[in-house]
């Protein structure tokens, strides 16, 4: 693949054809590199919990262990198999979106309700972490989409906001409507007062397996797939997801989704 067509002096038509072919080869090479990196990262992520389960299994089989040590070892096994299970689920989700399966599950849904459901699921996490979570939602606000996928997107971003915001901080969810030509859109902003993200990391956080700090993320349980899943779900809905952030001050994730034309707007606090 590393070879390129050289047709100097062969005439405009042929030179253009060779340039197009070379461009395609370059893109193919980049795709192969991405696939190779993805496979290597996925294998690496799976190898760690497998190794932990293996050594813990050996501990369980040792005759001189106390019941307490046995229990602790079994807890470790369960934690690691849970981690592997979640990772495999995430890899399957990404594989399915990569295959561009037809959108059979798309139907009209109220975005405000979908976000309220996700907020309900993370509220207990936020309270435990002593973080104030507020939301002002617009409802009804109808988009055509997959409720489960969109709820997952908001869960991913809200859970990250909780993970990366210290105690005493706040997370604010707000929603507004926008008009782009004839297309109306909803913009959902999730703003936190957390640790923020450095400028050099910002363009990379939607990449698969990208984590700003591996140690911190490992402690918080993430494999760096959350935001790439969120992004592929939003792209499937013809929407956009973007982030702005200031280190030590916080981050804002904006999601813009096209509205179904039948939407009617009234503001209501969650």
Report the number of secondary-structure helices (H) and strands (E) in the chain. Answer: 6, 8
Query: Does residue 164 belong to the site contacting ligand ADP (CB under 6 A)?
Result: yes
Q: Mask: binding to ligand ADP, 170-209, rule CB under 6 A, as x and -?
A: ----------------------x-xxxx-------x----
Tell me which stretch binds ligand ADP (CB under 6 A): 31-39, 105-113, 154-162, 234-242: 154-162
Q: How far is the CB of 196 from ligand ADP (least distance, A)?
A: 6
Q: How far is CA 66 from the centre of its chain?
A: 41
Interface with ligand ADP, residue 145, by CB under 6 A: no
Number of residues that bind ligand ADP (CB under 6 A): 23
C-beta closer to ligand ADP: residue 56 or 165: 165
Instruction: Say whether residue 160 binds ligand ADP (CB under 6 A).
Output: yes
Residue whose CB is less far from ligand ADP, 24 or 246: 246
Which one, of 146, 136, 235, 147, lies nearest residue 177 by Cα? 136
Per-residue x/- mask for ligand ADP, residues 238 to 257, rule CB under 6 A? -------------x------
- Strands (E) in 81-131, as ranges, are 107-110
Using CB under 6 A as the binding rule, whether residue 135 contacts ligand ADP is answered as no
Q: Is residue 208 a contact partner of residue 232, using CB atoms and an 8 Å limit?
A: no
Q: How far is the CB of 268 from ligand ADP (least distance, A)?
A: 25
Q: Which of residues 207-236 bind ligand ADP (CB under 6 A)?
A: 210-213, 217, 222-228
CB of 153 to ligand ADP, least distance (A): 11
Among 119, 138, 161, 255, binds ligand ADP (CB under 6 A): 161
To 5 degrees, how large is the angle CA 196–CA 200–CA 203?
A: 85
- Which residues sit opposite 135 in a β-bridge? 173
**Strands of the chain, DSSP E:** 107-110, 132-138, 142-145, 170-180, 183-192, 240-246, 250-258, 267-269
- For residue 146, give the 3-state DSSP assignment: coil
Least distance to ligand ADP from the beta carbon of 211, Å? 4
d(C-alpha 251, C-alpha 254), whole Å = 10
Q: Please, which residue, 91 or 223, has the CB nearer to ligand ADP? A: 223
Contact 145, 106 (CB under 8 A): yes
What DSSP character marks residue 181? T
The partner residues of 134 in beta bridges, in order of sequence, read 172
Residues near ligand ADP (CB under 6 A) are: 156, 160-161, 164, 192, 194-197, 205, 210-213, 217, 222-228, 251
């Amino acid at each position: 693949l590393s070879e390129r067509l050289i047709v100097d002096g062969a005439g405009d038509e042929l030179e253009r054809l060779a340039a197009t072919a070379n461009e395609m080869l370059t893109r193919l090479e980049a795709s192969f590199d991405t696939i190779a990196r993805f496979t290597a990262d996925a294998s690496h992520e799976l190898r760690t919990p497998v190794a932990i389960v293996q050594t813990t299994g050996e501990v369980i089989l040792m005759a001189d262990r106390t019941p307490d040590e046995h229990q602790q070892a079994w807890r470790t096994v369960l934690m690691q198999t849970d981690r592997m299970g979640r990772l495999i689920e995430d890899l399957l989700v990404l594989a399915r979106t990569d295959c561009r399966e037809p959108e059979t599950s798309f139907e009209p849904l109220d975005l405000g309700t979908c976000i309220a459901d996700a907020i309900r699921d993370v509220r207990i996490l936020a309270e435990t972490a002593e973080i104030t979570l507020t939301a002002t939602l617009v409802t009804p606000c109808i988009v055509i989409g997959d409720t489960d996928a969109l709820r997952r997107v908001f869960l991913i971003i809200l859970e990250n906001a909780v993970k990366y915001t210290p105690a005493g901080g706040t997370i604010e969810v707000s929603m507004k409507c926008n008009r782009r030509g004839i297309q109306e859109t909803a913009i959902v902003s999730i703003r936190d007062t957390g640790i923020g993200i450095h400028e050099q990391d910002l363009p990379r956080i939607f990449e698969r397996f990208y984590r700003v700090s591996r140690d911190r993320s490992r402690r918080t349980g993430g494999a760096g797939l959350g935001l790439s899943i969120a992004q592929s779900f939003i792209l499937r809905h013809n929407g956009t997801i973007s982030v702005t952030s200031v280190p030590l001050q916080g981050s804002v994730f904006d999601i813009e989704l096209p509205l179904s034309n039948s939407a009617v707007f009234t503001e209501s606090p969650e």
